[in-house]
Amino acid sequence: MTLMIEITSDFICPWCLVVDRRLNRAIEQLKTPVEIQRIWYPFELNPTMPEAGMDRKTYRSNKFGSWEYSQKLDAQTMQAAMGDGIEFRYDLMQVTPNTLKAHRLTWKACQFGKATEMVERILNAYFTEGQDITDIETLARLAAEVGMDADQVRAFLTSTVGVAEVKELEQQAANRGIRSVPTIKIGRETIVGAQSVDVFLTALQTAVNELKAA
């Protein structure tokens, strides 16, 4: 019995990391044995971001009116996620990234059955280690950490392979009415935003019960 979970996310969204942690905890609490298969859909919150990203302080100051207000928003994220075991390291972040390469790498990792591992490694690299996830060398190293070949990943990311496919997946998300991330589809229920572990657990159990009944 396999339960499919569809997750639409972007790597610059802190709530996508929070949701990943909460969803993992909910899965651990499931009473019914079930195989979980996660399908990851890309979403670019900043599709016009320069390929190399932008200086984070400059970008956030322009976007939110001031660096001080940007830091206040970061602090609110850290406060809201205190119970999730995440040590956000906004102080280490130098670049607000363009996330297309990271999404392409996830698409590639899916071919090796490693999409979830790749997504989680990239999210943690950015939010808890302050790594530049626009950088090909960084992404190749992260891919190697989850068991992919770094040289192959490097060659892949310097090509245009996967760009059209990722853009098509993004369009499919738009066609489904997805306008924000994270958006998680569990069974017949769609959950938007960083909901609680209990919300995810209830949705998971309902979906599992429907699978059993079918």
User: For 58-69, what is the mean pLDDT?
Assistant: 98
pLDDT in tens, 88-123: 999 999 999 999 999 999 999 999 999 999 999 999
Secondary structure class of 35 (helix, strand, coil) = strand
Structure tokens at 94: 């130098």
- Phi, psi angle pair for 137, to nearest 5°: -65, -40
How many of the other CB atoms lie within 10 Å of CB of 74? 16
| Domain regions of the chain by residue span | 2-213
Q: What percent of the chain has pLDDT over 90?
A: 98
* pLDDT above 90: residue 214: no
Give start and end residues of each alpha helix (H) in the chain. 14-29, 56-64, 67-80, 100-110, 115-129, 136-145, 150-157, 163-175, 197-213
Instruction: Map tokens 């090796």 to a residue.
Output: 112
Is residue 182 a contact partner of residue 16, using CB atoms and an 8 Å limit? Answer: yes
Structure tokens at 87: 């040590």
Q: What is the pLDDT of residue 54?
A: 98
CA torsion sign for 33, 121, 200, 192 is: negative
Structure tokens at 165: 């496919």
* pLDDT above 90: residue 147: yes
- List the one residue out of 183, 194, 180, 177 whose CA is nearest residue 40: 183
Is pTM, for the whole model, over 0.95?
yes
pLDDT in tens, 155-192: 999 999 999 999 999 999 999 999 999 999 999 999 99
CATH 2.60.120.40 applies to domain 2-213: no
